[in-house]
Structure 1
């Protein structure tokens, strides 16, 4: 393929393109709205549902989806930590990092070996704005790697491009070991009882940590590190939790290679933010002070990919569920079932295919539905006792 046959996207300088995207997203968000930061938890949820352009655009623009749901007349899906849990988590994190991170480094050395930790450097990562903090973090990583000692980066700032828009992420900590390895540290307030924690919570923490690892690999690549990013950044993260029912810290290494691979692939599938925004009508905005009908029209103009899993990850889930049910979409029944049904996208079409009223008999999904319907009818007929059907 010649250069003239390549991508038709105009070659805009990265800085100018980033500025243009930010201006466009600010217009969509509304002139007075404060942008909501796109954190690792939201990125992990977005990566789990890459087909949802609505969430990609709203998160990219920093729209408060909870407030948007209320403005649309729908309840905001309740998830996340209570204020009590947040306060408890902050107290536990402060204890883990106290005394220059001595206990944290001991836990990491206990699981990884190598040179015994002594006094660790804790560089100041303060800077103006997220861009400045990300640049300061990159410099601190370079200096710590060159120094060849233990370094604790407390709440560093990492930058990652998501769907063509920059996102800034803040892990609990990153530790640089004397051998130059960078390890992400996740500090959680749920307990490890008998050295094991709730698998669902560990899985969620691993998906979140995988986003941080991906961002760290980007930093290593920009620094031109040798060895390469994949060798510099550890693919096992240190998960620190309270031990049993105490407030004493314990830890476990969690391999996030699977989550990292999935997250990298899913984020690469996201449609670029500017492409989604360009498809909107002129003057479209998610500003919360707009009339509800106009706001609903703008929201509905952006395609969504609702699934029941959204209820645990997106504030707009109830609104999207109502719309999915209103059009009889099979997505409301779950991604697994939707994948099995092929081209049958509505519940009505599924029932018609099962009853032989529509559908191509050679379609495997249609054939399976008709077979299931025949088996059900046969079972019900056989269960008839004394004129009554046991259902």
Structure 2
């Protein structure tokens, strides 16, 4: 039994998908997330047993709406999608071949992946020879190695433009209103699409083709304004690709983190005969706290452990609660009392805290002067 098996306990490893892989890129500095994902730990079950379950999941209405919108976009051999692509690329795509990989003769992931490889290999060769024609591949199945585990991924559609570039197409049901969408939703879609781009580039490289054939601009298809009319736009995922690559490489170097942990550490829930965990929650919490976390408010929408980590950060009065930008600007100050102590002059700064202490005291003075001026105005009134 290797070290990761000991950490997980006698439980099957939880499978990754595009969402969980994308979540790695959402908080690249969190050792806790990296260890749990490398070991295939069931984060949802652990959070639930600790009393901090994450309220994830879409409503039935949201799921139904998403499926209906995707069906609309893909109807009649992706006719509506093809119209959007012609407008977005600004050229006549011409004759386009449509292939639904899900309709391959043999069932199972192996057959679908083999069919996807065959289609994309042929398209890549055609592109390299300058004879590429438009191709839409529906329900493709890609593979990606995540910390030694093979993960199956299914993008919505992969398109080969007549110009010879592959584009990952992400179909989402959140609206683009007046040319803008909710930034958090676009960011989440970009991280997930970057996983598909990375997997597609990996596949082409394995086939001896140029990974650069896969564009870093993914096509995001969403409802326009308050109607259900589809619209499409490009989203640049180069930054997400860079972070994802670093995180995937980090999982292969997980031993560096494991070496700092107690050798007998385990997150085994010790389920009873009926599957109910028997391990005391306090004992499990102590084990989890052995692995440092790096909480950020954004974790609440991406990680099953986020609510436990937030409670932990509150207990410690950690600057993590203030968000990444504020935490990083505070120059390594770990707790809010430390920040207030320097700002109010109640604590002498260490040598490496002198600069941030000067800034905090300046801001504190401005704040105090503003409060004093406001109090005088109220008194006069």
Q: What TM bracket, shorter-length normalisation?
A: 0.7 to 0.9
CA change 1:84–1:191 in 2 (3 A) is same
Report the equivalent of 1:240: 221
Change (3 A) 1:374 1:270: farther
> Is the 8 Å Cα contact of residues 9 and 266 (structure 2) preserved in structure 1?
no
Q: CA deviation at 1:381?
A: 5.2
**From 345, 368, 371, the counterpart of 2:362:** 371
Unmatched 5+ stretches in structure 2: 127-131, 272-276
Secondary structure class of the residue paired with 2:99: coil
Over 3 Å counting, the alpha-carbon distance change for 1:61 and 1:157 in structure 2 is: farther
Counterpart Cα distance in 2 of 1:245 and 1:375: 45
Which residue is 2:136 aligned to? 152
| Contact 1:137–1:158 under 8 Å retained in 2 | yes
**Following the alignment from structure 1 to structure 2, what is the Cα–Cα distance between the partners of residues 330 and 244?**
38
| Bigger mean CA offset, 87-96 vs 238-247 | 238-247
Instruction: Describe the SS at the equivalent of 1:56.
Output: helix
Equivalent residue runs for 1:345-356 within 5 Å: 345-354=334-343, 355-356=345-346
Would you say 1:250 and 2:231 are equivalent positions? yes
Task: Find 1:111's aligned residue among 88, 98, 112.
Answer: 88
Q: Following TM superposition, by how much is the alpha carbon of 1:376 offset from its aligned partner in structure 2, in angstroms?
A: 3.9
CA contact (8 A) 1:38 1:60 kept: no
- TM-score, normalised relative to structure 1: 0.79
> Which residue of structure 1 lines up, in the alignment, with residue 37 of structure 2?
59
Q: What is the alpha-carbon distance in structure 1 between the residues aligned to residue 61 and residue 293 of structure 2? A: 33
Following TM superposition, by how much is the alpha carbon of 1:262 offset from its aligned partner in structure 2, in angstroms? 4.3
RMSD of aligned alpha carbons: 3.4
> Could you tell me how far 1:388 is from its partner in structure 2?
8.0
Inter-partner Cα distance in structure 1 for 2:377 and 2:237: 59
Deviation, structure 1 residue 178: 4.7
CA 1:389–1:30 in structure 2 vs 1: closer, same or farther (change >3 Å)? farther
Structure 2 matches for 1:125-204, cutoff 5 A? 133-146=112-125, 148-163=132-147, 165-193=149-177, 196-204=180-188
The Cα of 1:299 is off from its aligned counterpart by 1.4
Task: State the distance in 2 between where 1:286 and 1:385 align.
Answer: 61
Shift of 1:345: 1.4
Contact 1:50–1:269, Cα closer than 8 Å, also in 2: no
Q: Tell me, yes or no, if the aligned pair for 2:28 and 2:243 is still in contact at 8 Å.
A: no
For normalisation by structure 2, the TM-score amounts to 0.81
SS of 2:221's equivalent in the other structure is: strand
In structure 2, what is the equivalent of residue 312 of structure 1? 301
Q: 1:339 maps to what in 2? A: 328
Change (3 A) 1:316 1:125: farther
The answer to whether the Cα contact below 8 Å between 1:48 and 1:266 also exists between their aligned partners in 2 is no
Is the 1:53–1:303 contact (alpha carbons within 8 Å) kept by the matching residues of 2? yes
Number of equivalenced pairs: 364
Spell out, residue by residue over 1:197-251, the C-alpha distance to the aligned partner (whole angstroms, 9 max, x if none): 44443333223212211221111222111xx212x11222222223444444332
What's 2:26 paired with?
A: 48
**For 2:234, what is the secondary structure of its paired residue?**
strand
Q: Tell me how far apart the structure 2 counterparts of residues 245 and 379 of structure 1 sit (CA, whole Å).
A: 43
In 2 relative to 1, CA 219–126 (structure 1 residues): closer, same or farther, beyond 3 Å? Answer: farther
Alpha-carbon distance in structure 1 between the residues aligned to 2:204 and 2:311: 44
Note if 1:359 corresponds to 2:341: no
CA contact (8 A) 1:330 1:346 kept: yes
**CA displacement at 1:305 relative to structure 2:** 0.5
Matches within 5 A, 1:32-111: 32-33=11-12, 35-74=13-52, 76-111=53-88
How many angstroms apart in 2 are the aligned matches of 1:387 and 1:177?
66
Deviations 1:304-342 (A, max 9, x none): 101122122222211111111212222122212221222
CA distance in 1, matches of 2:229, 2:87: 16
1:126: how far off?
A: 7.8
Aligned to 1:285: 267
Separation (CA, whole Å) in 2 of partners of 1:31 and 1:263: 29
